[in-house]
Structure 1
Amino acid sequence: MSSKTRLCCLIGHPVDKSLSPIMHNEAFRAKGLDYVYLAFDVDDLYLKEAVEGLRALKVKGFNVTMPYKVAILNLLDKINEDASFVGAVNTVVNDKDKLIGYNTDVDGIISALESKVNSLKGLKALLIGAGGAARACIVALVSKGCNEIIIMNRTFDKAKQMAEDLSKKLSMNYNLEKLNIDSLKKAISSVDIIINTTPIGTYPNLDESIIPQELIRKDLIVFDVVYNPKKTKLIRDAEKMGAKTIPGYEMFIRQGASSFKLWTGIDAPIDIMRRAVLKALG
């Protein structure tokens, strides 16, 4: 570090479990960049002051995590299209004191899916969940020409509100279904992709899955956004059934790679970032 070191960081509450500092600092070192990445735990009373402080300090950029991905919208100078569609920002670039918000979760989802299939055009997806990750998934799927999205959630009204909101911004073909075993059987029999955006299966609940193993077909792509553990029960079950799988750490790494490029202007060393994350996950 020196007086010329460029600062990138994470703001949120809490941030002590975040793997972003490990991942990004390894990437900066690998590329020989005089950058450092830190994590700042920001109380909600001081979010505005924190953002203005980062502007004043001329940080290169920063990530935003829970619970501020939506609240940050009103504190920025500009928001890109994906972030506007999703209604949340997870990456900010400081461009000559102008703070520009992006949602690189969308890029991370597209990149992860396209690592398993050449094109999403014309495919049909089952999306489980109705939070921020689900919104980003819908934007990603629609942008790449996914033909139909079946949306399920434990709270049906929340899924309905999300779908209605996004359908005002996007031209999307979707169906809403109540989440139960019968609707899962029916949906899974007709889709190409399953995406779980709920926290089911997150550590320490290692033996929980939202989908019974016997419903998974070998010709499916199964994507779980949960990245701790490295392989959720859903991913382990899908592997046993011969399906193509995308563990959540791939989305995390790939959205981080997109942030890295926005800040530095160069391609991220994804393999090095992946090794750092997997080592940290144990």
Structure 2
Amino acid sequence: MSRTRAHMDRRALFASGAAAALLAATGVSAQSAPVRGGRLRIALSGAARTDGFDARVPQGLFMQVAMVGAVFETLTEVAADGTLRGELATRWHGSADAQDWVFDLRGNVRFHNGASFSAADVVESFELHRAGALADIETIAATSDNQVRISLSHPDADFPYRLTAPELVVYPARDMALAMRAGIGTGLYRVHRFQPGRQFVGHRVETHYKDGQAGWFDSVELVSLPADAVRAEALREHYVDAADLTHAVDLGDLTEMVLLPEENFMTSAVSTSMALPGQIGARWPLDNLRAAERWWIA
């Protein structure tokens, strides 16, 4: 695409909902302490007009960021420094042969519709993937409201790490169909506006168990811009704060940008107006899809 064709009409970008952003982690400027407030705007590829919140359907980057980075949560997560830690699970242990696993779950967690989170939600959500990502689960059962026991068909010492996958989000068991349509999770951001293939806007929930640790933005906007050159221009012209990119050729002056996770292995670029953690996870783009949780305004 030529630069002429790639040039955006500024009013059309936002009026059409094509000017959104995303962020799911903790900031670029490691010197500054996190501060609540402001809006994160991210330009992303990988959106489709058929997009939705059904994790059984393969999702592009746009929906992965909206789902695991904002609206929903998983049992475990990969932190910005690359370590494994609990999210909806607080701790876990496996048998000596790594075939049987017990996960203790976080208490006092609520879905965006007010329902309390429990082991039944994990069981029903994981059942969705018994023919796919979790095909090796032989049995899964709630041993109490706050504990799940899982037996695998073969040993897997990496099983807790596998549960960080963006498709393994947890839905409310009693309202699963509605949650898949409307986006009802336990994440830091509640769905405010969703236009499939175009735009996602999430607003910070009033209270969350991660308060004081993550979720610094008041709102998060994701916008679908399929062309690399257009995403680069949106970032260069300050319409968005971050964009997924694999090369810097269209960015121009890089003095106001940071290439993530590093210049020689670029998956995204972010404005220096954002503050980021000292280390940035490289398993997925945009700080393991969690820029909205972990970053803040510098």
Q: Same fold (TM over 0.5)?
A: no
Report the structure, 1 or 2, having the larger strand content: 2
Higher RCO (CA-CA < 8 Å; seq separation 6+):
2
TM-score of the aligned structures, taking structure 2 as reference length: 0.30
TM-score of the aligned structures, taking structure 1 as reference length: 0.31
Report the structure, 1 or 2, having the larger helix content: 1
